[in-house]
Structure 1
Amino acid sequence: MLATWNSGESRTIPLAVPSQVVYYIAMGKQSSQPELTEHDIDLVTVVAEDLRFLARPVQDQVTRTDVRLIATVLRRLLLHGDYSTAWRLMGNEGEPSLRAMDPEPMVRDVPDPMWIHYAYAGGSSPSRARHAGLSMVIVPAAEHKGREAFGSTAWDDLRIRHSVRRTYKLTAYKRSTCIQIASNKIKRQDLLHYVANKLGGAHLDRRRLSERDQTLSILLDRGQLIVAGLPGPYFEVLTMAADLAHSTDAQNLVEAVMQRYPSEMDEPDRIYLREGLDGPWTWMSLGDEPATGRGPSSH
């Protein structure tokens, strides 16, 4: 068993440790990383591939179908816990972090929550039209006429209030507010569940049996905001994908998985062929000048 010591130079030091554990010593801190089972390797690889999928550049306009497919991936990564599981399997402690918009400061000082027509978090997005916090506050006419009672400074503050980008731990992120309508605050995990399970992500289900689904239907199905051709709730799912995939922790996880379990046959211009169950691989090139060669010895 070997350990790698990083302190300005790279050198390998043999250690007498159990064969099922690999010890990494880096900058004076020691952590153990058990060898993964075949199932665990599949899980961390799928998570890394999904994160790369969510981070990919988008050439054309994002469609509602794109968002529904993204919602199913996010549901598995976030709601089913695959991202957290992969994070731990790769030897990380605690929870991963990510940065996202917090819409609550936009409407925190609104005197009456019933004035809040809506407040959406928004954030990073591959779409051409986007926002990083958008709210509409409707002041009743009677209150508007008597606004001097509040003082002009308070009303000026109300007009310029904006959202804040902040850092969340993963659990707090899932439970954080992404949409507020009147006094109703919709959590990111509830919105993701609704889009994936009700609006055609994994399922298209018009039933609204639970109290939560009935509330979300009343608040979200009527349509209040369209961003780059996407309903407001869809755009929030799109920003959730960007929040996660472009976070430093997610990118570091992808790099660690790909380095430890590299794919040998990612070349898009080749066809790989194998004879038998464990024979050598050969490949054919699909470039301008067809050629053949030997592929990886095993996969």
Structure 2
Amino acid sequence: MDDESGLSRTGMSITEEDMYIIKTVYEDLLYLKEEWDESIEDSSLRRNSNVLRMLLVDDYFSKAWRIVGFKRQPTISATDLDGYVMSVRRSGVSYAQAGGAMYEGMAVRSTVMTNYAMTEAEIKKQYERESKQPSIKCFSVSQLMKSTCIIVNGKSISRRELIKYVSNKLGGTHIDTRRDLKNDEGRKFADLDKLTGMRLANKMAVYYELLSIGQAVAHAEDTQKYCQRTAEILKI
């Protein structure tokens, strides 16, 4: 039988491997909360992008979540960029970014630039949508990874792709200047290259988005639940 939080009352048997997983995830979540603050430098975000890759892309946060007795996946609140740009022509979006991170006392969320002059009807529709429905949505981890965080020339780039771009291409784990334009991911990485000179909230746009993802994870209610439960198991 499960209690309301989803924890099993029947007890749990955790293997040595599982203990290592839950401890590593616990430590990395605490690291995000303590270090990915409003003063972190881009170079630190790049070097530690592999933390987000492990937690979210490789899905160890969800694995650890279930090991300690919770059901399904943890949920994380983040900017819903797809919902925000519904009122404009997607093909006409030259640049859009979800954002939301706090950096140097400011937070920028739902930035949109179009390559055409929006009609009065589009402006009104966007205003009404934003006033009635804030651009924040609760995602499961898998939904978060599929969700759009940046749009370049009408093309959507997911949070998964952004994390992999920083980790695999910019030097988080590897430096790789190759872009395979024959596959979709390679083309997405090439699109992200175009944002090299773009800045948001006094940070390079790509790193600001990475910080936004990290802070969303760090401050999620389910992150606090996981850390509390894991601390009990580890007797920390």
Q: Which TM-score band applies after superposition, normalised by the shorter structure?
A: 0.7 to 0.9
Q: Which amino acid aligns with 2:70?
A: N
Number of residues of Structure 1 aligned to a counterpart in Structure 2: 230
Q: For residue 122 of structure 1, what is the amino acid of its counterpart?
A: G
Structure possessing the higher radius of gyration over alpha carbons: 1
**CA contact under 8 A between 1:129 and 1:227: conserved in structure 2?**
no
Match of 1:254 in 2: 227
The counterpart of 1:215, out of the listed 187, 201, 204, is: 187
Q: How big is the shift at 1:26?
A: 7.4
8 Å contact from structure 2 (residues 108, 201) kept in 1: no
- Where structure 2 has 5 or more consecutive residues not aligned to the other structure, the ranges are none
Would you say 1:191 and 2:162 are equivalent positions? Answer: yes
Deviations 1:219-257 (A, max 9, x none): 111225312442212111111111111111111101111
**8 Å contact 2:37–2:215 — kept in the other structure?**
no
* Whole-Å separation in 2 of the counterparts to 1:60 and 1:156: 33
Of 211, 215, 219, 1:238 maps to: 211
1:74 to 31, 52, 61: 52
Which structure shows the bigger proportion of residues in helix conformation?
2
Measured in 1, the distance between the counterparts of 2:166 and 2:209 equals 10
Question: What is aligned with 1:117?
Answer: 94
**Residues 166 and 81 of structure 1: is their aligned pair in 2 closer, same or farther, counting only changes over 3 Å?**
same
State the Cα distance separating 1:170 from its structure 2 match: 1.5
Instruction: State the distance in 2 between where 1:103 and 1:125 align.
Output: 17
Which residue is 2:140 aligned to?
169
1:182 aligns with 2:160: no
Deviation for aligned residue 1:59: 6.9
String of CA shifts for 1:178-206, please: whole Å, max 9, x gaps: 11123311111111111111111111111
Contact kept in structure 2, 1:63 and 1:229, CA below 8 Å: no
What is the CA RMSD across the aligned residues, in angstroms?
2.7
On the 8 A contact 1:54/1:70 being kept in 2, the answer is: no
Contact 2:95 2:154 in 1 (8 A): no
Q: Which residue of 1 aligns with 2:75?
A: 97
Q: Distance in 2 between matches of 1:240 and 1:58?
A: 10
Helix, strand or coil at the partner of 1:133: strand
Does the C-alpha gap of structure 1 residues 232 and 33 become closer, same or farther in structure 2, counting only changes over 3 Å?
farther
5+ residue gaps, structure 1: 1-22, 264-299
Q: Percent identity?
A: 26
* Equivalent AA in structure 2 for residue 257 of structure 1: T
**2:154 & 2:222 partners in 1: Cα distance?**
33
Structure-2 residue corresponding to 1:63: 41
Cα distance change, pair 26–39 in 1 and its aligned pair in 2 (3 A): same
